[in-house]
Amino acid sequence: MAHTLLPNTLEEEARKTLVQQLLGPRGGLFALGTFVGAACMYYFLTNTIIKENKAHYEAQIAQLNSRVEKLEAENL
């Protein structure tokens, strides 16, 4: 006679297995490593984008300031 699990027991076993995989030595370290890797990637990506945007806007401001100076010189 085959052993069958009751629905509640099946749910408990599935929950235990999931918790073991997520919090176990390999699963926990993998999840932590993935999270840290994603956080580092997000940090460096946003820093790079911010630096590029800052340089772009500073170049635009310098260009506009030179145009303003040129127009002011023409109007004097």
Task: Please write the tens of the pLDDT for every residue from 5-55.
Answer: 556 777 788 777 777 766 666 666 666 777 788 888 889 999 899 999 999
Interatomic CA distance for residues 76 and 73, integer angstroms: 5
Nearest to 17 by CA among 35, 33, 34, 5: 5
Please tell me whether the overall predicted TM-score, pTM, comes out greater than 0.75 for this model. no
The Cα angle at residue 46 between residues 55 and 34, in degrees rounded to 5:
155
Helix (H) or strand (E) holding 72: helix 25-75
Q: 35: which 2 tokens? A: 């999270």
| DSSP H or E segment with residue 22 | helix 7-23
